[in-house]
Chain A
Amino acid sequence: MSDNPTTQESASADAVTISVIQELLISVVREMRVTFSRSAFSSIINEGHDFSCALLSPEGDLVAQSEDHPGHIFPISYAARAVFERYAGDIHPGDVFLLNDPYICGTHMNDMAMFCPRFFEGRALAFPALRAHWGDVGGSVAGSLSGDASHIFMEGMIVPPIRLYSRGELNRECLEVILKNMRGREDRHGDLMAMLGTCQLAQRRLDEIEERYGRESLQAVNDSLLARAEKRMRAAISALPSGTFHYENYIDNSGTGAEPLRISLRLQIKEDQIHCDFSGTSGQVKGPTNAGPATVATSCFMVLKSLLDPALSVNAGCFRPLTMEAPEGSILNAGFPAPFSGASDVRRTIESCVLGAAVQAMPDLAAGDTKGAANHCYIAGSRPDSGEAFLYYEYPAGGTGALAGSDGDHAIRTYTEGDFNAVQPVESLEATLPLLVEESGLRAGSCGHGEWRGGLGMERRVRLEAGGAGLTVLTDRVIIPPYGVDGGTSGGGNRFTVLRQGSEVEPSDVPGKATAFPLTEGDAVVLRSAGGGGWGDPLARTPEAVLADVRLGYISLEDAREVYGVVVNGGAIDAAATSSARERLRKSRVYLIARLGGEDAYGGSRRLCPMSLGTAKEGGFSEGMLVEYVPARGAPLRAWVKITPGPATGETPLGPVAASILKLQDKERIWLRPIATPYSHPPLAS
């Protein structure tokens, strides 16, 4: 009846036990997630799911993580490492650690991390961790995030790695200090207790697993899971060509200053490893657009995993083939007293850099960029009748990028975000706040165009019906929009304005970052999220697809004609006119001859596109104009026009980094395209 037994040593018990315990670990993390999101008080936790539950190995390595906000993946590990360093040899059963130190965790201070180590007979075991966005951690504005913070203390209270519970005993004084320094004492206490309750539940579950399968088994399974993930990640990297790939992209501004900030990346693929070096990135700023190494690691990982192996389970094993270097003192590794409110916007810009560099090694996976910012939008005021304070908070999602063979989705969470609500029900807002939502819909024409077009952003108009309030906005990609790839155009950027008596008013001097801009009765805030970048040449999109987009109201007739060269007459495609329009548009494109050999030219943080006056006149370019070099494959290279006597007319000098990004040889021609934006940066320094 039985098969011939093989002489080979059996791995059978392992394969089965690993799968069985893995199911249990997923179950524990899920249970943490549900328990926490149901019991937490901050709406960004229970609605926005800005938190992450995790199980860590005794060494602090990530073993399993919940499908919530992936932005916490590395910050949790970095924070755990800091706790272990600080308390080495002095960690005991019943201890609970808490921290939000941005210079350790790499993101804004609202993100509070908790660790609840576990022991058995004196031996450290796998343990639960939880990191969540608290609604407020003190500082100068309600919600703590502020577009004009210029010092970390303006963003709230730094909690270094502290021992909140020692051997099960709460340090009440310490808790009191924390709660005294934050708004919404009850809510903060509620969030903290929800975190603790969730971690304790996970501790019990891990105990149950170990009681059933043996104390050693969990550790052994964890090791196998990590090894398995590492092997998978390495196999995927090995399939890529080895080489060095550059990309650079910008944050619009720091909030306190108007100059753009550059993130430069050199991504090296060597056999089964990837190294991301961010040398050349702008120095840390006084404003809130700073971040730490944990954010860099998270961003790199998310994009690379998405490209290489989306199905791979997330644990410390798949981090091993990746290394990152963020220069100290840069916006990616900022020190005290740099504020961190805009760390989420920095994260998304890093992601767009990693995508831009990585797809040079995987050209078939090129995809348009996404909204590129967190889009925090607050209206804080008091009710005219009772004087009671109210807070409106939304973070509208944008369109996703197009890729070969498919158009992007409209107004939806991107692939680096958890799947959570970004806007509130209109009926709930209107029932509880002195606000009227006049419109909430797709933002027509905001897509990046291309053979495949990006998704549309959304547009929402929220009117303040009574009393006064302040508008706070913290976003980016307002000036420099999400890029298209393979010739596709940029999506329309994010934009937050105020409609006052029929005219549109800017809530700040620095676009995208406003703090407590005073709103009066009747003012309407207009929230516009970015569209996703396009893929491929818009002139290659089928006229039928363009017509369908017109019919659905995604794009205008004018866009159809002027971007896609598709002429629609009486609801039908005019084939002859379309063919000549396409010819006209193709001919109107400006191509310059690349001249290699010189250095890459920068003016401050900005890459320059030096050109002669003649080139500018012929191509319709002007000094300080934002342009992009458009390569046939991959992401474009953004630069600002600098009119200078050096270059010959019709030529553009490019340094080695630019040539590498654009894959250009000397004297090859390159398409130079202006980028239309509603705002511009200050004039270039001469």
Chain B
Amino acid sequence: MFTLGVDIGGTFTDLVAVDPERGEVRTGKIPSVSDEPAGAILACLQDLGLEGEELERMIHGTTVATNALLERRGAVTALVTTRGFRDVVEIGRCRRLVEGGMFNIGFRRPPPLVPRNLREEVDERIRANGSVEASPRPEEFQSVAENLRREGVEAVAVCLLHSYENPEHEEALGRWLRDQLGPEVYISLSSSVNPQYREFERFSTTVVNAYVGPAVGRYLSKLRDGDIGKLEDRSIYIMGSAGGVMDIDTAEDFPVRTIFSGPAGGVTAGRYISGELGISNLITCDMGGTSADVALLLRDRILYAGETVISGVPVRAAQLEMKTVGAGAGSIVWVDVDGALCVGPRSAGSSPGPACYGFGGEEPTVTDANVVLNRIGDGALLGGKIRVDASSAREAMAPVRDRLAFRSSEELAEGALKILVARTVRLIREISLERGFDPREFAFVAFGGAGPMHAAAIADELDIETVVVPSHPGNFSAMGLVMAKMRRDATATYLERSSTIDSADLRGRLGEMAEGVVDRLLGDGVREESISLSCFLEMRCLGQAHEIPVPLGSSPSQVDLPAIEDAFRKIYAERYGRNPDPATEWEVISIRIIGEGEVQAYPPETWRAKRGGGEGPREVRNVWFDGEWRETCVYERNGVGPGAVVEGPAIIEESGATTVVPPEWRATVHASGHLLLRRRKDEQRRDSLPQ
């Protein structure tokens, strides 16, 4: 039986079907059809020669929530909040939260998701300690419900002050509204969506949940009813923003947790291969047509961000810590008014696309640069469909070349790639160095259509020793969906200082939460022996504004204060480069427990691509490297099996990606089938190290 990973992106739907028993992996790629996910999936299954009956589970990465938010196409959403605070969701903390406001007198903030006339206030008040100061009156419930019905709202976010401490009023309002407005109105409570303090972030997250809820709900029910083989609800899963999988009901209740569903697959796959390769620190880079997503895996752990801002709206839900830059294969090479050579962030996308596609694109792109350098061969078939025309690429380069007086198009092309690399490098520095991690201690995993092409150059700039180009780099994210574990989270605000904290109380609270997480995982059908828990405290020095997640290990019963303090100091020093002042008190802000487990085990052999071995180069052609043409061997990825060594300069081609091995580099094929690229000098150094 097959497990299916389906990654529906803006342009393409990627599929991976895996049968762990027979060790069979099939991959496919089709244009996305946004309205009919089930239809698209069925069509692709046909391509793969799979019958619906052969499917056992499906894990889906979706961008429905993301797109509804980015394109502001969500539901007509109302807010019910504490009297005096309806504008919190609009004012926030007076920040712009969108780039481009500094020195821009005409800057305008994106409109709020809930217009002011759909923000209802109720007379109620809960204090910071959870005590009730004023309860809402039933008449008020009535009038709120009437107003919302009259306005025809499709979704309601109920967000009251201090509800993280006492959800009583939110729950009462929620029950009333459900009853009055009926099941077709989607209702979210802030105490359920994000029970953490700081009202703006909680309210905003809850509003997003409500805003995207109906769209995600409609989509998921189409998926449910889509008759994809014999799949029942219980065997359809959705990838969450934090790289863990959730069941379809959870995704319906908490769609805000799927905002980063798309990119999460790649990072999860990265985590899997880190175990396979025995490399514990990885930087993953998914470079496609318009952008590059970068994330970090530290000692096998995915790094999580507590909060992100998406098009001006804060979302506080567990999610991968990830950065994106507008740099990819379609990025346009252009000249700014002051004569600066720039690459991206504007992209030619798939339409008109790079000039070399011959679809009418006139501006030169990164792909055109690669064609000019012959790293992509003239006449090559991209994705099996688009035939590359080198003369169009050269033609497109000419105006920029002449304007900046480059001696040749090759020099311009090579320069443009350097700038693309520099922009990506800046992003990687942001996600590593700015957090106190040295990229040299990481391996670099490159995938997506354009990742393997530029990976070695990026690694060179960062002094990274090892580049990994995984098997199936074009379908890597979909692979990650299949590999991902089920995940359940629990969070709670827990405000205590080092002088007042009581370890027995903390242990009790952790224990309770852990039990809840395990129960829910078992309910998801996870195998008990595969369950692992990670407990975190969000902590900071008294007086600091930012807390940091401090891992407490997996066993709540063993938590004690000295261990907490030690762990805090260690993480603090790692992040800030200095120890916290021993005289300063620390404080805990909140508790988080993450539980993960597998429904099905996949032995590593499952993924091993069946490759041929030891075939020689398919052709030898001139490729431009470092200012000159070099005779370069071009290989088929399928022709280089485990143990094979390919000396640079070389090009390794496969469907969906091209790997560039620069002159000073060497590629070896790992037993797992992944390509490892290293500089020859580093390899020699490695060899000469005492064993």
Is B359 in contact with chain A by the CB < 8 A criterion?
Answer: no
Q: How many CB-defined contacts (below 8 Å) exist between A and B?
A: 236
Contact of B408 among A3, A396, A430, A441 (CB under 8 A): A3
Closest to B88 in A: A440
CB distance from A461 to the nearest CB of B (A): 8
- Chain A residues with CB under 8 A of B619: none
Is A41 in contact with chain B by the CB < 8 A criterion?
Answer: yes
Q: Bound complex: CA of A419 vs CA of B101, how far in Å?
A: 8
- Chain B residues with CB under 8 A of A12: 404-407, 411-412, 415
Most chain A CB within 10 A, of B102, B162, B342, is at B102
Whether A228 pairs with B546 at a CB distance below 8 angstroms is no
Q: Bound complex: CA of A552 vs CA of B198, how far in Å?
A: 26
Stretch at the interface among B9-17, B67-75, B104-112, B294-302: B104-112
Q: Bound complex: CA of A35 vs CA of B433, how far in Å?
A: 9
Closest to A427 in B: B197
- Chain A residues with CB under 8 A of B117: 551-553
Whether A15 pairs with B341 at a CB distance below 8 angstroms is yes
Q: Bound complex: CA of A397 vs CA of B91, how far in Å?
A: 9
B interface: dominant SS = loop
Contact of B430 among A27, A411, A420 (CB under 8 A): A27
Whether B543 pairs with A412 at a CB distance below 8 angstroms is no
Contact of A30 among B164, B434, B545 (CB under 8 A): B434
Is B422 in contact with chain A by the CB < 8 A criterion?
Answer: yes
Contact of A410 among B90, B415, B546, B576 (CB under 8 A): B90
Q: Bound complex: CA of A193 vs CA of B108, how far in Å?
A: 38
Is A660 in contact with chain B by the CB < 8 A criterion?
Answer: no
- Chain B residues with CB under 8 A of A70: 102-103
Whether B339 pairs with A228 at a CB distance below 8 angstroms is yes
Contact of A231 among B162, B338, B575 (CB under 8 A): B338
Whether A186 pairs with B581 at a CB distance below 8 angstroms is yes
Whether A11 pairs with B404 at a CB distance below 8 angstroms is yes
Known A16-B419, A34-B434; contact A41-B412, beta-carbon cutoff 8 A: no
Whether B575 pairs with A406 at a CB distance below 8 angstroms is no
Is the interface on chain A under 10, 10 to 19, 20 to 34, or 35 or more residues? 35 or more
Stretch at the interface among B92-100, B233-241, B348-356: B92-100
Q: Bound complex: CA of A34 vs CA of B91, how far in Å?
A: 24
Whether B106 pairs with A2 at a CB distance below 8 angstroms is no
Known A5-B408, A16-B415, A426-B199; contact A30-B430, beta-carbon cutoff 8 A: yes
CB distance from A611 to the nearest CB of B (A): 35
CB distance from B461 to the nearest CB of A (A): 8
Q: Bound complex: CA of A199 vs CA of B485, how far in Å?
A: 43
The proximity string for A residues 398-427 relative to B, scoring 1 for CB distances below 8 Å and 0 otherwise, is 001101001001111101111111111111
The proximity string for B residues 190-224 relative to A, scoring 1 for CB distances below 8 Å and 0 otherwise, is 00000001111100000000000000000000000
- Chain A residues with CB under 8 A of B88: 426, 440-441
Known A426-B85, A442-B87; contact A19-B340, beta-carbon cutoff 8 A: yes
Is A201 in contact with chain B by the CB < 8 A criterion?
Answer: yes
Whether A427 pairs with B87 at a CB distance below 8 angstroms is no
CB distance from A655 to the nearest CB of B (A): 30
Is A149 in contact with chain B by the CB < 8 A criterion?
Answer: no
Contact of B94 among A197, A367, A422 (CB under 8 A): A422
CB distance from A541 to the nearest CB of B (A): 17
Whether B419 pairs with A27 at a CB distance below 8 angstroms is no
Most chain B CB within 10 A, of A2, A70, A186, is at A2
Is B79 in contact with chain A by the CB < 8 A criterion?
Answer: no
Whether A41 pairs with B339 at a CB distance below 8 angstroms is no
Contact of A458 among B91, B101, B108, B425 (CB under 8 A): B91
Closest to B401 in A: A3
Whether A1 pairs with B407 at a CB distance below 8 angstroms is no
Closest to B335 in A: A15
CB distance from A20 to the nearest CB of B (A): 4
Closest to B196 in A: A427
Contact of B422 among A23, A422, A440 (CB under 8 A): A23
Known A19-B422, A70-B102; contact A31-B543, beta-carbon cutoff 8 A: no
- Chain B residues with CB under 8 A of A569: none
Contact of A19 among B108, B374, B419 (CB under 8 A): B419
- Chain A residues with CB under 8 A of B544: 41, 46
Whether B105 pairs with A401 at a CB distance below 8 angstroms is yes
Contact of A306 among B103, B339, B374, B583 (CB under 8 A): B103
Whether B583 pairs with A186 at a CB distance below 8 angstroms is yes
Contact of B340 among A15, A306, A420, A441 (CB under 8 A): A15
Closest to A200 in B: B577
Whether A422 pairs with B93 at a CB distance below 8 angstroms is yes
Is B57 in contact with chain A by the CB < 8 A criterion?
Answer: no
Closest to B421 in A: A20
Whether A228 pairs with B338 at a CB distance below 8 angstroms is yes
Q: Bound complex: CA of A188 vs CA of B410, how far in Å?
A: 55
Q: Bound complex: CA of A232 vs CA of B109, how far in Å?
A: 27
B:354-376 near A, CB below 8 Å: 374
- Chain A residues with CB under 8 A of B409: 2-3
A-B contact pairs, 24 of them (CB 8 A): A1-B622, A3-B394, A3-B410, A10-B405, A16-B418, A19-B342, A31-B433, A201-B577, A231-B338, A396-B94, A409-B109, A411-B94, A413-B95, A418-B102, A421-B95, A424-B93, A425-B93, A425-B199, A426-B161, A431-B495, A440-B85, A441-B87, A458-B94, A552-B116
Identify the A interface with B (CB < 8 A): 1-3, 5-6, 8-12, 15-16, 18-20, 22-24, 26-27, 30-31, 34-35, 38-39, 41, 43, 46-47, 67, 70, 186-187, 190, 193, 197, 201, 228-229, 231-232, 235, 302, 305-307, 310, 365, 367, 396-397, 400-401, 403, 406, 409-413, 415-428, 430-431, 438-442, 458, 461, 551-554
Identify the B interface with A (CB < 8 A): 83-88, 90-91, 93-97, 101-109, 115-117, 127-128, 161-162, 164, 197-201, 337-342, 374, 394, 398, 401-402, 404-412, 414-415, 418-419, 422-423, 425-426, 429-430, 433-434, 495, 543-546, 575-578, 581, 583-584, 622, 629
4 closest residue pairs by CB, A with B: A16-B415, A439-B84, A397-B94, A422-B94
